Amino acid sequence: MTNSVLVAVDGSDGSERALHYAMERAQLGGAKIVVCYVIEWSPYTFNTPEENAERHMRREQEIEKATSSVVTPAAELLKSNGVACETVVQHGPPAETLIKLANKYDVKQIVVGRRGQSGIKNLIFGSVAGSLIQTSPVPVVVVP
């Protein structure tokens, strides 16, 4: 893919604005959009085999829910507006996973919405957008 953009969606108002921003730019420049939903997940837990089996089922349910409620509607919007797209839902640390997907799909840009997260959590952990801006190998657009 020579002209592709990765758009992170999560069902928030910010990701909806990011999707529309990317769609408008794709229509102008003929870009393909990779719509991505990352379900935050860490492999660093200490579970019993039973808990791991339950966790696996829960992961599959999360993927199905994210696909049906967020990713598929986003893809339908893009396609109905003449924009080529591909979709992906993955578990993982959000910023790291988005960067891996950007490399995998050879995108030229990542578009994310600003969630407006505030308070102590943001001060301690930072935001996905902030992490992407600091570590992404391609330009990142943060849509307000």
In the three-class reduction of DSSP (H, G, I as helix; E, B as strand; rest coil), residue 107 is classed as: coil
State how far the Cα of 104 lies from the Cα of 37, in Å rounded to an integer. Answer: 15
4 pLDDT more than 90: yes
Confidence category of residue 65, pLDDT binned at 50, 70, 90: very high
What is the rounded average pLDDT of the residues 61-68?
A: 92
In the three-class reduction of DSSP (H, G, I as helix; E, B as strand; rest coil), residue 139 is classed as: coil
Q: Specify the pLDDT at position 122.
A: 54
For the chain, domains (ranges, CATH) are 4-143 (3.40.50.620)
2 pLDDT more than 70: no
For the beta carbon of residue 10, count every other beta carbon within 10 angstroms. Answer: 21
Q: Specify the pLDDT at position 57.
A: 81
114 pLDDT more than 90: no
Report the DSSP pairing between strands 85-91 and 140-143: unpaired
